[in-house]
A = this chain, B = another copy of it.
């Protein structure tokens, strides 16, 4: 990667799409994908599962209701949400304009 990308200010990288959740890659290798998931209020991410890859979300700003396994988790700014390999997960709804830092390893 370009060494200019070694430091990124995430609030400045966030971008929103009125039609659906927006995804922005911050770093990608075969081992690790780190990016932003940006939601307008009411936007969602469908429940899905990664076999053999662990994922986390960190709520940088806003608040969202996650689904992980059979649980609904309301997660404000400062929350870390973990979806280990094989566990279904998604965002039922963003309760505010929300920016998530997400990471998954290995990259799907």
Residues in A lying within 8 Å of B, measured CB to CB: 1, 3, 5-11, 26-27, 29, 31-32, 34, 52-54, 56, 58, 60, 66, 68-69, 71, 73, 75-76, 78-85, 87, 101, 103-106
- Chain B residues with CB under 8 A of A6: 68-69, 71, 73, 81-83, 87
Bound-state Cα–Cα, A78 to B53, Å: 26
Q: Which A-B residue pairs are the 10 nearest by beta carbons? A: A105-B105, A32-B105, A32-B54, A7-B73, A8-B80, A31-B105, A6-B68, A27-B82, A11-B78, A103-B103
Number of copies: 2
Partner of A80, one of B7, B32, B82: B7
